[in-house]
Chain A
Amino acid sequence: MVLLYTDFATYLTTDIILYTGAIGLLLIGLLGLLILKNIFRLLLSLVIFESGANLFLVLSGFRTHGVAPILINSQDNISQMVMNDPVPQALVLTAIVIGVGIQALTLTLIIKIYQRYQTLDMKEIHIKLEQDIANIAQTSPLASQDKPQYMTNQTEHSNKGISSGGQV
């Protein structure tokens, strides 16, 4: 059987395009959160991840050729009509608002961190944070306990190497 373009087009309904979009956004966001190091880019990945989830949520109430529940005239044949589910639309509105609030909060935290640590690199912030926590607890950081002396020297060198990168 030869798969023609027209056959393919019939499969390519609005539903499939939208679901692919939602899952694609989710994957892009998750991948970004896992592999990126710059905290500003991490925030952007989080935003994309959230949009994917929101799109997925609103799609759960979507019906092809569906109408909004209010847009029904008395003359229309109601039994023939398909209605979009309004509940996910209400939910997604809440989720979007929460997401925006968290993004704003994250940006303020990023500004504060940049003022303190002079870097946006997550790895570097992590190392400095561990050092600071150890200072508060008046101990040395955990990881250096069993490392031979020459290795700790090496990591210090490589840390200095990172500090030049990691800015927007």
Chain B
Amino acid sequence: MKMLSLLVILPLAGAFLIPAFARISTNLARVVGPLILVYLLSLIIPIYTAFEVNQSSSIQFAGFIPPYGIAFYIDELALLFSLITLIAFLMIWPWGKTNLDANHQEVREYSLYLLLLSASLGLILSADLFNLYVFYELLAVASYGLIAKQDTNKAGVASAASLRYLFLSASGSVMLLLGIALIYTQTGTLNIAHISTLANDKLQNFAGFAACLLILIGVGVKAEMFPVNSWVPEVYGVIDRRLTALFAGLISKIAVLFIAKVLIMIYQQEFILNIILFIGLLGVISGELIAYRAKDMVRMLSFSSIAQLGLVFIALAIPGEVGLFIALALMLHHLIVKSALFFLSEKMHSNLDQLKGLYHQSPIIVILFIFLILSLLGIPPLPGFWIKLNLIINLTSVTNGYLAIGFILLATVIESAYLFKLVKTMIAKTDDVHAAYQNGQQKSYYFALILSLGLLATTISITKVSDSIQNMAKNAANKELYIRSLVPDISKQHKLSSTNRISQLTMHNRQQEL
């Protein structure tokens, strides 16, 4: 289990060593990244398969006794997301670029990819607020670099998009830091498990709520949350589609996971959950309305992604493990569907009006597209339907839940309006059929096919998949388990103080007698 710390260390070391390797041999620099990815996969797969349902464990660094020092928390959820991250990076790894030029431009890109990988895995595993902040900043820096690097043929555009993103994201990071500082002034600790034991006494005040909102806004930038998502269409518009699939599919989910971790472990007050509900609602409505008006594929998909993440936030507003279960299901579903759609969009003309007659040019792409959007909309018996159904049923027990249900259904109507309009354009008959189809990379098409087959497999074995996600959510939302494995000493005291003070006193007396 200790080996799992390599998940963060190896890519980080690789990222900084690749430029040095490139001086020795360019071929060496080219294989380092994939080698690290494959090695980490071979490390994590046996652990994941052997992992039991209720198991959890923690890694303490440098021999500090918890709650001091840095800790990683490992449960099934963290392992699953690490696995997904590694596979996603293997998919989008820039294999095709063979011409290493004199300036080692590609080598820098490899470095940035590894840096992004390291930061993502760190965010998934870390159980310490400040460490989360550091990995979040690392993730941000790597993504600014990757976005600005897409500049080669459209000089300057990607830099401008990157800068506008940077101002938003860096202000968000400062707010996150401020939130963490506020929590530290109230509790005097940074370990999430330790804060969780103290939250009821010390964070039920103005400073605690302010800290929560600051963290929410700070991390919300990456999670495409409603008021701070203006970067999404700009950045996705200028970068490579496969990188877009990574950002919209995976990176946003990792940020949501961060928010979910803080909400589940520290803040479960109705006031805060209600704020999340309204933020999510505004995201859903604004995203769908702008997507309705979009005229190009990337903008439409990116605003639809904002709307889907709004749904995830609404799910997080349902307290406890049920909310986490639905949020997780929505996240995994969106991860598969939206990545596949972005992969597919590489084969299509980017202007929606030009897509006329695509079906007659390449029927498989259109059929895959229809299959994916049907699941996105929530048409039975596809997984999207069961998730939305669960969300709506569980929202009835939440304050303002009926309002949310109304808006979700309205948003679904808007969503189906623009998606079906697009499908109608695609299957329309036309004389000039050559315009719609683009000769993108064949690989992207295969990735989309694999992801769609995965979705089909999920549809067939829906009960099994939903059971396993439910178990995962149950464990991830289990505060006792989290506290017990991260801060075992404090958990004993906490349990005693919260359950029965008298027994604690008698035990103390008995110890004195002994």
Interface residues of A (CB under 8 A from B): 26, 29-30, 33, 39, 42, 46, 49-50, 52-54, 56-57, 60-61, 85, 87-88, 91, 94-95, 98, 101-102, 105-106, 109-110, 112-113, 115-117, 122, 125-126, 128-130, 132-134, 136-140, 142, 145
Contact = CB atoms under 8 A, between A and B. Distances in A.
Contacts of A142: 293-295, 299
B350 A136 contact: yes
B124 to A, nearest CB: 20
Nearest to A54: B177
B171 A46 contact: yes
B77 interface: no
Contacts of A129: 157, 160-161, 164, 234
Interface in B177-192: 177-178, 180-182, 184-185, 188, 190
B171 A33 contact: yes
B293 A113 contact: no
A97 to B, nearest CB: 10
B296 A94 contact: no
B173 to A, nearest CB: 8
B137 A98 contact: yes
Mostly, the A contact residues are: helix
Interface in B274-304: 293-299
Contacts of A57: 177-178, 180-181, 184
14 contacts: A39-B163, A42-B167, A60-B184, A87-B190, A95-B133, A98-B134, A102-B170, A105-B144, A109-B166, A112-B156, A113-B163, A115-B156, A133-B233, A138-B351
A159 to B, nearest CB: 16
Nearest to B68: A87
A109 B159 contact: yes
A106 B144 CA distance: 9
A112 B154 CA distance: 12
Nearest to A90: B130
B156 A138 contact: no
Contact of B160 (A52, A56, A61, A117): A117
A88 B184 contact: yes
A113 B156 contact: yes
B contact patch SS: helix
Most chain B beta-carbon contacts within 10 A, residue among A33, A49, A112, A137: A137
Contacts of A136: 154, 157, 237-238, 350
B34 interface: no
Interface string B426-459: 0000000000000000000000000000000000
A60 B185 contact: yes
A53 B137 CA distance: 15
Query: Which of B148, B177, B237, B238 counts the most A-chain CB atoms under 10 A from its CB?
Result: B177
B214 to A, nearest CB: 10
Contacts of A101: 141
Given A56-B178, A60-B184, A116-B155, A109 B170 contact: no
A126 B164 contact: yes
Interface residues of B, number: 52
A53 B159 contact: no
B354 interface: yes
B338 interface: no
B298 A94 contact: no
Contacts of A42: 167
Contact of B238 (A106, A128, A133): A133
Name the residue among A39, A42, A133, A145 with the largest chain B CB count within 10 angstroms.
Answer: A133
Contacts of B151: 112
Interface string B126-138: 0000100110010
A60 B181 contact: yes
Nearest to A30: B171
Contacts of A46: 167, 170-171, 174
B181 A56 contact: yes
Nearest to A56: B181
Contacts of A115: 156
B241 to A, nearest CB: 11
B294 to A, nearest CB: 7
The 4 closest A-B pairs by CB, nearest first: A116-B156, A137-B296, A133-B237, A57-B181
A137 B156 contact: no
Given A60-B185, A109-B166, A117-B160, A137 B299 contact: yes
B333 interface: no
Contacts of A39: 163, 167
A88 B187 CA distance: 13
B162 interface: yes
Given A98-B141, A102-B140, A133-B238, 4 more contacts: A50-B170, A109-B166, A128-B160, A138-B296
Contact of A125 (B160, B293, B351): B160
A110 B163 contact: yes
A131 to B, nearest CB: 10
Nearest to B188: A85
B160 A53 contact: no
B266 to A, nearest CB: 17
A110 B164 CA distance: 10
Nearest to A57: B181
Contacts of A94: 130, 134
A115 B298 CA distance: 27
Contacts of A102: 137, 140-141, 166, 170
Nearest to A110: B163
A49 B185 CA distance: 19
B130 A109 contact: no
A134 B352 CA distance: 12
A140 B182 CA distance: 46
Contacts of B296: 134, 137-139
Contact of A95 (B156, B177, B353): B177
Contact of B177 (A53, A61, A116, A137): A53
B145 interface: yes
B351 A88 contact: no
